[in-house]
Amino acid sequence: MVPRQTRMQLLTFSIAGEPYAIEARLVIEVLPLVPARPIPQVPDYVLGIFTYRGDLVPLIDLGRLIGAGPPTQRLSTRVIVVEFHPLRSAAITAAAVRLGLVAENVISIRGAEEADASLPHLQLVTAPYLGQVLRIGGGTVQLIDLARLLPPDLLDGLCPPTPAGPAEGRS
C-alpha cells in the first residue's frame, strides 16, 4: 500500500499566470478567501489581519508583493496559512510565526520526486524571497523562500517576537 518514499510535497499556485510553489510541510491549512481587517500605514500588499483558530494572523497578497497586481476573485483564489521560523533582525529566540498568503489557482499538491532541483538558487537583492527554480513535468516552478518573504523589520512589526511565542494549538 505504501508507495515509494517521497522527499518533498509542493503546494503549487499561480501569480499573474506564472506557476510558483511553497513546501507543503510549512503549510498548516488552505482556506477559502477570507475578509481581513485593514491595517493603516503598511505597504499595499499587507491586506490586514484575520482571525485563524483564535490567533490574529497577517494576510499578505503575494500578487501585489511580487508586483503583479491584485488577484482575480475566483474560487481557486485562496488563503494559504503557513508557519515558519523567520530570520529575525535582532538576536531573539526565533519563534515560529504564521502568515496568510493570498494566491491564485491554489488547487494542487505535487510530489517533489517529479521535480528536478538542478537549477540554481536565485540570488536577487530586490526579491530575496525567490528560491530554487524546480522543473516539474514539462514546465518550471519558482519556489518561494518564506523566511525571506517580508523585510525583517516589517515581519517584527506584524508578528512581534514575544517570549511566550505563538500558542501551539495543534494536536
Partner 1 sequence: MRRSIAGRLLFWFLVIALIPCAILTAITARIAASSLEKSVRDTLVQTAAGKAGELEAYAGERVRDGAALARGPTVVQAVRDLARAAESEDDPRGRLNAAAAAVTPYLTYVAQAFGYEQLLLIDKTGQVLFSLAETIPPGTSLTAGGLASSELATGFDRAKTLLQSDLSGFQQYGAARQPLAFVTCPVFDEGRLTGVLALGLGPQRIWQVLSDFSGLGETGEVVAGQFAGDSVLVTTPLRHMDDAAFRLRIPLGIDQSVAIQQAASGTRGFGTLRDYRSHEVVAAWCYLPSFRWGLVVKQDAAEAYGLVRFQRSAIIALSLATIIGVTLAALVVARTISGPIRTAMAVARQVAGGDLRASVDVTSDDETGALLSAIQTMTSDLRGLIGRIQHSSVALMSTATAIQATASEQQQVMADYGASTSQAVAAVKQISVTSQELVRTMTEVNDMAGRTGKMAADGRSDLAGMDGTMRTLAESTSSFGAKLATISERAANINLAVTTITKVADQTNLLSINAAIEAEKAGEYGLGFLVVAREIRRLADQTAVASLDIERMVKEMQYAVSAGVMEMDKFAEQVRAGVHEIGAVSGKLSGIIEAVQGISGRFGQVTEGMRAQSQGAEQIREAMVRLADGAGRTAGALDDFNSATVHLREAVGDLKEEVSRFTI
The binder of partner 1 chosen from 76, 94, 154, 161 (CB under 8 A): 76
Question: What Cα–Cα distance (Å) separates residue 163 from each residue in 82, 110, 115, 149?
Answer: 21, 36, 39, 23
Mark the segment that binds partner 1 (CB under 8 A) among 71-79, 85-93, 114-122, 127-135.
71-79
**Pairing between β-strand 97-111 and β-strand 9-15 as defined by DSSP bridges:** antiparallel
Q: How many residues does the chain have?
A: 171
CA-atom Rg of the chain in angstroms: 16
Mark the segment that binds partner 1 (CB under 8 A) among 26-34, 46-54, 120-128, 151-159.
26-34
> Within 111-170, which residues bind partner 1 (CB under 8 A)?
none
9 lines the binding site for partner 1 (CB under 8 A): yes
Which residue, 32 or 165, is less far from partner 1 as judged by CB? 32
Which residue, 9 or 140, is less far from partner 1 as judged by CB? 9
List all residues 6 or more positions away from 60 whose beta carbon is below 8 Å from its beta carbon: 45, 46, 47, 99, 100, 101, 102, 149, 150
The C-alpha cell at 24 is: 507543503
Which residue, 36 or 79, is less far from partner 1 as judged by CB? 79
Mark the segment that binds partner 1 (CB under 8 A) among 52-60, 106-114, 125-133, 140-148.
106-114
